[in-house]
Amino acid sequence: MEVPLTAVLFPGQGSQTPDMRSVVERVRPDLLELCLEELRLDPFERVSEGTHMAQPAIYCASLAGWSLVDEDEVGFMAGHSLGEFAALVAAGAMAELDGLRLVALRGKLMHRAKDGGMMAVGAPVEQASEFALRFGLHLANDNSPGQVVLSGDADKIDTACANAKDAGLRATRLKVSGAFHSPAMGAAAPELEKALGAIELNEPRVPVFSGVTAAPFDDIRTRLVEGLTSPVRWREIVLALRERGVTRFLEVGPGRVLAGLVRKTLDDVETEVVSAEAAHA
């Protein structure tokens, strides 16, 4: 029987679940200890406070999920925004400690850049992009053929949401306080770039796809910095992986958002989630 070519997916912001701390404590207690040592706090207990707490917690939960996967089965990896850091660590491109320090810094920088907002739009990317231009917004995530996220000034987001129905669109304002993946995050770039310049990077063991290019990472430092202000091309990543022969998509970490986006994009592939229950095995 032919073994399916598998891509492992690492989730991003918003994928947190109530049980993810217990999973990390059970499967990778060393990661929890690392958080307590490096951050001098438990981010899992303060996830609701914002990106500065959610990002390191999701990062650790994703690596805990990854530890349950047979590495020999994996042909490709991809992470959605924040998930790129966990994917690169899993692929051996950076150390776990460096990854934790980077996502903690990234979360703090993004948390500081407030006064923005985001909205989900149920429409193809072309239609959503035209709508965004009308209200001075930016494309933030191209998630699937029918799910796009826009980002920008909070007042403009409110206005766009109020006018979406008249434009024949389904829209929902997201519960975030920043205009992520837009030029508003530009102020965070220099500090993240400096931190990335101070760590050692290796060639990934398997190709890891970048959300900026929808292709395997070429210049890791540059792409991770660009990811702050560039849209996440997730739909294109999924299509590109399928073109490479991937027929099985395995989501690790908390939640199951990415598996759902894959199913909305492709109908001829298998999707699986490394669930919390699997951690009991």
**Active centre residues (catalytic):** 81, 181
Report d(CA 67, CA 26) in Å as an integer.
12
Residue 209 belongs to what H/E stretch?
strand 208-209
44, two tokens: 């899992």
Report d(CA 235, CA 265) in Å as an integer.
7
136, two tokens: 């001075």
Residues 6+ apart with CB under 8 A from 185: 109, 110, 113, 178, 179, 228, 229
Report d(CA 207, CA 204) in Å as an integer.
6
Residue 143 belongs to what H/E stretch?
strand 138-144
Pairing between β-strand 170-173 and β-strand 116-122 as defined by DSSP bridges:
antiparallel
Determine phi and psi for 134, rounding to 5 degrees. -60, -30
3-state secondary structure of 115: coil
Residues 6+ apart with CB under 8 A from 181: 81, 138, 140, 141, 149, 151, 227, 228, 229, 230, 231, 232
